[in-house]
Chains A and B, each alone.
Chain A
Amino acid sequence: MSEVKLVVQRFDPFEDAKPRMKEYAIPRREGMTVLDALLYARDYLDHSIGVRFSCRQASCGSCGMKINGRPRLACYTQVAELGGDKVVAQPMDNFAIIKDLVTDMESFFEKHREMMPYLIRADAQEMERPSAEYVMEPKELEKVLQFTYCIKCGLCTSSCPTVATDSKFPGPQALAQAYRYTVDPRDEGGGKRLELLDDAHGVWRCHFAGSCSFVCPKGVDPALGIQLLKRHVLSGRPPRREGEGAKVWTAPVSASAQK
Chain B
Amino acid sequence: MKESRLMLVQYATAVAAVALVSIHLVMQGVIYPYATAISYNNILSIYKNGFYAIFLEALLVVVLVHGFNGVRIILNEFRQTKPWAIWVDAGTVLAIIVTVAYGTRTVILAVFGGAPA
Instruction: Give residues in A with beta carbon < 8 Å to B.
Output: 162, 165-169, 198-202, 204-205, 233-234, 236
Contact = CB atoms under 8 A, between A and B. Distances in A.
Contacts of B80: 166-168, 201
Contact of B77 (A199, A205, A233): A205
A200 B77 CA distance: 9
A167 B77 CA distance: 9
B4 A233 contact: yes
Given A198-B4, A234-B4, A236-B4, 13 more contacts: A162-B77, A165-B77, A166-B76, A166-B77, A166-B80, A199-B3, A200-B85, A201-B76, A202-B3, A204-B73, A205-B77, A234-B7, A234-B8
Contact of B4 (A162, A166, A201, A204): A204
A169 B80 CA distance: 9
Overall SS of chain A's interface:
loop
Contacts of B4: 198, 204, 233-234, 236
A120 to B, nearest CB: 21
Contacts of A167: 80
Contacts of A168: 80
B78 to A, nearest CB: 7
Contacts of B76: 166, 200-201
Classify the secondary structure of B's interface with A.
helix
A202 B3 CA distance: 9
Contacts of A165: 77-78
Interface string B52-94: 0000000000000000000001001110100001000000000
A233 B76 CA distance: 20
17 contacts: A162-B77, A165-B77, A166-B77, A166-B80, A168-B80, A198-B2, A198-B3, A198-B4, A199-B3, A201-B80, A202-B3, A204-B4, A204-B73, A205-B73, A205-B77, A234-B4, A234-B8
A91 to B, nearest CB: 23
Contacts of A236: 4
B77 A204 contact: no
- Report the 8 A-B pairs with minimum CB-CB distance, sorted nearest first: A168-B80, A166-B77, A198-B4, A204-B7, A165-B77, A234-B4, A200-B76, A233-B4
Contacts of B85: 200
A233 B4 CA distance: 7
A167 B4 CA distance: 20
B3 A200 contact: yes
A232 to B, nearest CB: 10
B12 to A, nearest CB: 12
Contacts of B8: 234
A29 B7 CA distance: 53
A234 B6 CA distance: 10
B3 A204 contact: yes
Interface string B1-37: 0111001100000000000000000000000000000
Contacts of B73: 204-205
A204 B78 CA distance: 15
